[in-house]
Amino acid sequence: MAAVSGRLLLSSRGWFPFQFFVRHGSKAVTRHRKPMHILRQKLLAVTEYIPPKPAIPERCIRPRQQEVQEPSTLEKLIRRDVEMAFRENKMIAVFQNNSINSEELRLLRHRLLKHNIRMKFFPNQVLRSYLTDTKYKNLLPLFIGHNIIIVSKEPKTKELLQIVRSTTQITLLGACIENALFSRQGVVKYSRLPGLQVIRGEVVSGLTQMTSQTYQLLNNGPVLLTTLLEQYLKQQSEAATGQEDSTKVELKEAERSQGS
């Protein structure tokens, strides 16, 4: 009660507790940045450095990163057929399809089948993906647009050109014959070569002629030596016979002279 009464007495007399003044170090900001003059702003805007733009846009320099998509089941089947066609056939000719109609295409297929030559159709996307990592990659420039592939297990270029000659809606671009690449002119020259049997006969006849010439060259020396020896013996025998005859004549003359 005494404490409470003491507080009331102090408050009634106007007494307050001690107050402490703390001086802070920060001062009020009274200076503001002077705004830039309008002429200086214009001068800085005019003289601002603007980097030159590249001649080629950046989107053209950096190729787009395409997502690698896994081939579908149909593409895998077509790729397997392409691989079998290039592995099992010795002649693979590439033609450009110049809008040939279905009737002429059917007749052409029938004429080719008579010589066991077949016609194939494959998408260019699958062909390019297969040929990129093989030894036939030089054929890639031929597969542009609509193409027809004609294959056969034996190189029948002569029959192929004779059949295709009457069909003007397709054009020969190139071929791969026995693992060798040929242009259109190369295929034409290859078709003019003789058959394999004829070439083998020519090779055998050439080898036989060479062996016969070698035999003659090797045999000329002994034959000539034998002929010379025979001639020498003949001359020696004739000389000996002549000496004997002359001796006999001299003896006869000597006997006649003694008898007389």
pLDDT 10s digits, 118-146: 999 998 888 888 888 888 888 888 888 88
| 215 and 144 belong to one structural domain | no
pLDDT of residue 65: 67
Model pLDDT for residues 40-49, shown as the tens digit of each residue: 999 999 999 8
pLDDT of residue 150: 93
| Inside any domain, residue 199 | yes
Cα-to-chain-centroid distance, residue 131:
9
| pLDDT above 60: residue 159 | yes
Judged by average pLDDT, the poorest of 13-17, 48-52, 255-259 is 13-17
Cα-to-chain-centroid distance, residue 188:
21
Total structural domains within the chain:
2
pLDDT of residue 3: 47
| pLDDT above 50: residue 9 | no
| pLDDT above 60: residue 7 | no
Mean pLDDT of 158-186: 89
Model pLDDT for residues 233-250, shown as the tens digit of each residue: 888 887 777 776 677 666
pLDDT of residue 23: 55
C-alpha separations of 202 from 55, 178, 196, 199, 212 in Å: 65, 21, 10, 5, 15
More reliable by pLDDT, 179 or 259: 179
What is the span of the domain harbouring residue 201? 194-226
| 81 and 140 belong to one structural domain | yes
Q: Are 90 and 153 in contact (CB under 8 A)?
A: yes
| Inside any domain, residue 51 | no
| 124 and 199 belong to one structural domain | no
| Inside any domain, residue 65 | no
- Do strands 118-120 and 91-97 pair parallel, antiparallel, or not at all (unpaired)? unpaired
> By C-alpha distance, which of 125, 158, 157 is closest to 143?
125
| pLDDT above 70: residue 10 | no
| 205 and 163 belong to one structural domain | no
Mean pLDDT of 30-53: 85
| 200 and 171 belong to one structural domain | no
| pLDDT above 70: residue 182 | yes
pLDDT of residue 107: 92
| Inside any domain, residue 123 | yes
Mean pLDDT of the chain: 80
Q: Are 200 and 112 in contact (CB under 8 A)?
A: no
